[in-house]
Structures are given as structure tokens and as C-alpha cells.
Amino acid sequence: MRYIELTELDEELKRVEERAKISDDELRKSLSEFCLKIDYNMPGDPFSEEYIQAQMDLYSLVSGKKYSVENEFSEFIFEERLNNPFPYFTESPTTVGDQLMGIGFLIRSMALPPKSNIIEFGAGWGETTYHLGMMGYNITVVDVEKKFLDLITTKLNKNNRNVEVIQEDMLKFRSSLKYDAALFYESFHHCSNPFTFLDHLYDMIKDTGIICFAAEPIVRGFAEYLPYSWGIRLDGMSVWSMRKFGWLEFGFEQSFFIEMLNRSGFSVDEFENNLCPLSHIFIARKIKYKINSPLKRNIFASSDTVDSEASILTCFRNKLFGGK
């Protein structure tokens, strides 16, 4: 792993773009080879408004722009992605295999009864949405990108499945309905204020409902690309995504993530399948009192743990083509 200064970032990203001309896999490999080294003091309380503002200031420093939800938009040609969807157009056995295993493990871990009502935030290409919709679940999708929503609707309607789509910032979305499950697949880390959003989610799901966080950048222990409780990730893929596209790329240290959910009124189960780095899932359920609760781990396949850094870099390399 090489460490670069902010003043070196643009030159480094030029080299990345050259390797991208070789293949998708070569691009992703190049982004896994460096990490941004930056001196930036954070306020002591990671739950404070001052801390949130400090992280947004760091985002502006890395990305070179002020954050707006419009930064999350993705450019693509609709017909091309309808006929040759993600992840298949990457032509990468690793990317396709990881995505298929990740989605399968998500469906298995949620284990929702037939006809459950699911709300999915930041669905992106909608591959997870598609499989859940084909199973007959009642799906509502919230995403800021209209083209993603049109893509999802077209694919499911073609197979006589209905889906409700809503173009909205997840942080601003409100609903009087109660859902059996709220779902995030590579998307919760785009929320600009996770604490406020979790409070909204508590009121959005049924008392017996769940919130599923799948393939999110949640790290066991501190890492050099995430040297604080939560905030901007400094690995190559993340800084490239912020600098080039303006996407918000938060990450969470695992013990902090659990405490954050506990404070919002949720207990947490962890599910992991060591065959695939995308198969790392946290499922939250309502608890009566907002106090600390133990984490229950459910490990599938081998007893070896997935390397945290490799997991994060693999999960978020899919951001290249707007996968969320």
C-alpha cells in the first residue's frame, strides 16, 4: 500500500485513468494500491454536530466541492444498461461473482415472509430490487437518480412485477406507512446525517420489522483509511469516487456503528459468509429502551474472517459504474 498526500492526488488519478483503459479489473486494482494520507483533527464527540460538520469539511477538501445530494447522480445511457446491465457489462468474473453471492446471501439472511413490504434506499442499478421483486415482495424504492428508478421499473414491469419508485433524498423521505423491512445495499454510507436518518427509520418500520445494512463499509477496528469512529474513507476507490464524481463516501468503525444503532433504539445481529466480501450484513431490530445491547454474530462457511481492508475495497470498487 502506498500513501500519498492530497497535493499528489490528481496526478495519481491520472495514472488510474490510464490503467482503466486496459480493463475494469485493472482500474479497480490500481485504486486498491494507494491510500490518501491527510492530517485532519476531528472533534472529540463523534455524535456531535461539530463532528458531522468537520467530516463534511473534510469531504470538501478531498472532493474539491461542496456536498449536495445532486452529486450522487450517475451518468449512463439508459438503453445500454437496460440491455447489458450491471454487473455483467464489467466482464469481470470477480465482480459478477461477488455481486451474485452478495445478493443471494442478503436474501437468505433477511429471511422475510412472502409478500413482505420492503423499502429500499439507494437501489442504484436495482439488481437487488429485481430479485426481491421477482420473489413477489412488495417493493418501494427511494433513490435520487430518476434514470435508476426508470431502469428498475422497466425491468420489473417487463416481468409482470410491480414496484413503487420515489425520487427523493433518503434523508428527506417520510412515510406514514410501516414497512416489514428497510434495506440498504452499498448505500447507507451516502447519507449525510446517519443519526437523523436512523431516527426516521425507527418510525418507518413495524415493531417486528428489520433494517438490513448489506455490504456497507463497516470496519472491525480502526484502519489507516478510516482513522476515526466514522467519516470520510481515504482508500483509493473512495477518494477517486469523491474527487471524480462528488459521491459521499462515509465509513464506520464497527463498535461505533453498533453503538449508533443502540442509541437509536435497535439491537443488531451480524451475518457473514467468508466466501464473498459483499456477504457482510447487519440486521437491526427495535428494542424497547435505547441502551447498549450485545451484538449477535452469525458466521457461515469457513471460520476464517474476511480481511476488513480487502472487504471494503472490493465492496466499493463497484462504485465505478454507479453501483450503490
Task: Give 195-243 pLDDT, tens digit per residue.
Answer: 999 999 999 999 999 999 999 999 999 899 999 999 999 999 999 999 9
| Closest to 71 in 3D by CA, of 224, 242, 299 | 242
Single-letter amino acid, residue 278:
L
| Closest to 321 in 3D by CA, of 70, 82, 85 | 85
Query: For residue range 58-83, what is the model confidence (pLDDT) as tens digits?
Result: 999 999 999 999 999 999 999 999 99
Chain-centroid distance of CA 148 in Å reads 16
CB of 243 within 8 A of CB of 235? no
Query: For residue range 244-279, what is the model confidence (pLDDT) as tens digits?
Result: 999 999 999 999 999 999 999 999 999 999 889 999
> Cis peptide leading into 87, omega within 30 of 0?
yes
**Structural domains in the chain?**
2-321 (3.40.50.150)
- Give the pLDDT of residue 39: 85
| Closest to 299 in 3D by CA, of 316, 281, 315 | 281
Average pLDDT, the chain: 90
The residue behind cell 456536498 is: 67
Q: Which residues pair with 139 in a beta bridge?
A: 118, 163
Computed on alpha carbons and rounded to an integer, the radius of gyration of the chain in Å comes to: 19
Residue 159 has pLDDT above 80, yes or no: yes
pTM above 0.95, yes or no: no
In this structure, the number of other CB atoms found within 10 A of the CB of residue 211 comes to 26
- Give the pLDDT of residue 41: 87
Give the pairing of strands 179-185 and 205-214: parallel
Residue 304 has pLDDT above 60, yes or no: no
